[in-house]
Amino acid sequence: MADISGVAQGTWTKTEREDLLHCYETTAKALQQLKTLILDSQPEGIREVCPYCGIGGPRQFDHYLPKEKFPEYSVHSYNLVPCCGVCNGKKADIWLQPNNTRTFINFYLDSLPAVPMLDVTVQWSVKNGKLVPVSIFQLVCPAGFGAAEFQLVSNHFQKLGLLARYKDQAHTEFLAIRNAALSREAKTVVVLRRFLGEFVKNWEQTLGPLNWRISLYRALIAHTDFLQTCLKP
């Protein structure tokens, strides 16, 4: 993980601070071009996904280092993170914990494992004759991932309320994978599970192994009872 928690705040006069902040608050064409370049540099498959949560669209920009405390970085490209309004509001000007460790992942600088970090438990109930899932998400530390690094990820999830937000969003994703399953018109669970496995594999190549949707999809297709409801009569 990047060691940036010790970045010192600069000493600026009132006029200097105002001038530095004006660089971001202006509607100058150069700033708009910078924002466009930042957005366009993101991988195509996740360009429309907030990196902080993986749910919303990145319609705003967060200052990783709060611009009021670090005005010199107000238009630094590595300090501008495309994000959704929910995450931007929750993050606000927070970036350090009380013990001076960082609160949020910096997606420009931090390295994350290439394996899932979410465990999903699916509980089923029957409503109107259909199986309806309730998905519970839990953050897990992969083998070999350091304790300090995992604590940063935990801080990030806790402050943004991600586990609860994923639970709230899970039913929409359940409908998406159920529709994909029904479209296959498979007659056996084996065939359907193989099809959905490829479906998830393709999505993983786009979204990455850490995306919450991938963990949810894998948990859903592990349930034979669910797959049986998606078979062609």
pLDDT, tens only, 79-128: 999 999 999 999 999 999 999 999 999 999 999 999 999 999 999 988 88
- pLDDT of amino acid 64: 97
Q: Sorting pLDDT into bands at 50, 70 and 90, what band is 1?
A: low
> What is the predicted pLDDT for the residue at 192?
98
pLDDT tens readout for residues 12-42: 888 888 888 888 887 778 889 999 999 999 9
Q: Which helix (H) or strand (E) holds 158?
A: helix 147-160
For helices 189-207 and 162-184, what crossing angle results, to 10°? 130
CB-based contact 162:201 (threshold 8 Å): no
As a whole number of angstroms, the distance between CA 162 and CA 50 comes to 12
Instruction: Quote the pTM value.
Output: 0.92
Q: Where are the beta strands (DSSP E) in the chain?
A: 60-63, 80-83, 118-127, 130-139
Alpha-carbon gap, residue 121 to 119, rounded angstroms: 7
